[in-house]
Amino acid sequence: MSVETVKGFLKRRPFEALRIKMSSGKSFEVPHPEMALPTKAGLIIVLPDQNGEPSERIEFCSFLHIASVETAAFA
């Protein structure tokens, strides 16, 4: 996965929620584009709380370990 690919998903309008699947089997949901920040080495995801709002928890996902990105069709 590359930073350009992830930025492309985050810039789509209308935005569709994303599911980031990691090589470890973990997955993370990104309900809003503001809840993900691409960096040179990976993606910082603000994890949603029980109501789907941004929480204080974050996860760093290295591009080397992102296996796939799915759009809202997963829901």
Q: What is the pLDDT of residue 1?
A: 84
More confident residue, 52 or 32: 32
Q: What is the pLDDT of residue 51?
A: 87
Q: Which helix (H) or strand (E) holds 9?
A: helix 3-11
Domain with residue 7: its CATH number is: 2.30.30
pLDDT of 75 > 60? The answer is no
**Rounded Cα gap, residues 24 and 13, in angstroms:** 30
How many domains, in total, are found in the chain?
1
> What's the domain range around 35?
3-74
Mean per-residue pLDDT for 9-28? 95
User: Which strands, in side-by-side order, build the sheet including 54-62?
Assistant: 36-38, 42-48, 54-62
